[in-house]
Structure 1
Amino acid sequence: MILFPAIDLKDGLAVRLEQGDMARATIFNRDPAEQARQFEETGFRYLHLVDLDGAFAGRPVNAAAVERILELVSVPVQLGGGIRDMATVEGWLEKGVTRVIIGTAAVRDPELVKTAAKRFPGRVAVGLDARNGRVAVEGWAEVSDLPALDLAKRFEDAGVAAIVYTEISRDGMLTGLDLDGTIALADAVAIPVIASGGLASLADIEKLLEPRAEKLAGAIAGRALYDGRLDARKALALMGGRSAAEAGRA
Structure 2
Amino acid sequence: MEIHISLDIYKRMVVRMERGDPSRVIVYSRNPVDKGLEIIDKGLRRIHVVDLEAAIEGRSISKEVIDVARILKSSGGFVTLAGGIKSIRDLEGALGSGADRVVLGTAIYRGLIDPREALGLGADRVALAVDTRRGLVTHSGWRAEVGVGFVGAIERYYSEGFRIFIVTNTERDGVFGGVDRVIIGSIPRIYKGYIIYSGGIASHQDLETLSGEGFRGAIVGRAYYEGIIGLGILKKFEG
Instruction: Give the TM-score taking structure 1 as reference length.
Output: 0.87
Gaps of 5+ in 2: none
Q: How much has 1:186 moved relative to structure 2?
A: 5.0
1:49 partner SS:
strand
The equivalent of 2:211 in structure 1 is: 209
Contact 1:80 1:101 in 2 (8 A): yes
Q: Give aligned pairs, total.
A: 237
Q: Deviations over 1:56-103 (max 9, x none)?
A: 233334431331342143221111111121000000111111111001
The equivalent of 1:101 in structure 2 is: 103
Q: Could you say what the CA RMSD is over the residues aligned between the two structures, in angstroms?
A: 2.0
Percent identity for Structure 1 against Structure 2: 30
Contact 1:58 1:83 in 2 (8 A): no
Highest relative contact order (Cα 8 Å, sep 6+), 1 or 2? Answer: 2
In 1, distance between residues paired with 2:113 and 2:159?
12
Contact 1:117 1:124 in 2 (8 A): yes
* 1:1-250 alignment, distance < 5 Å: 1-72=1-72, 73-109=75-111, 112-185=114-187, 187=189, 189=191, 192-210=194-212, 213-214=213-214, 216-237=215-236, 239=237
Q: CA 1:112 to 1:135, structure 2 compared with 1: closer, same or farther past 3 Å?
A: same
1:154 partner SS:
helix
Q: How much has 1:113 moved relative to structure 2?
A: 2.6
Gaps of 5+ in 1: 242-250
Contact 2:119 2:162 in 1 (8 A): yes
Contact 1:33 1:65 in 2 (8 A): no
Instruction: Give the TM-score taking structure 2 as reference length.
Output: 0.91
1:50 partner SS:
strand
